[in-house]
Amino acid sequence: NEYENLSQQSNRSEEERLKLDEEIQERQRKQA
């Protein structure tokens, strides 16, 4: 159960990181 929670957390952080990457790319595109 603990391991399951950890994997869910890592998946969530991975999604968060991907969203942030997309936002950064959008900003850079607008600045260009």
> pLDDT band at 23, cuts 50/70/90?
very high
5-22 pLDDT, tens per residue? 777 777 789 999 999 999
Q: What is the pLDDT of residue 25?
A: 97
Q: What does each C-alpha distance from 2 to 8, 16, 17, 18, 32 come to in angstroms?
A: 10, 21, 23, 24, 45
Q: What does each C-alpha distance from 24 to 3, 4, 7, 9, 32 come to in angstroms?
A: 31, 30, 26, 22, 12
Q: What is the pLDDT of residue 11?
A: 78
Read off the pTM: 0.56
> pLDDT band at 30, cuts 50/70/90?
very high
**CA-to-CA distance for 32 and 29, rounded, in angstroms?**
5
**CA-to-CA distance for 10 and 5, rounded, in angstroms?**
9
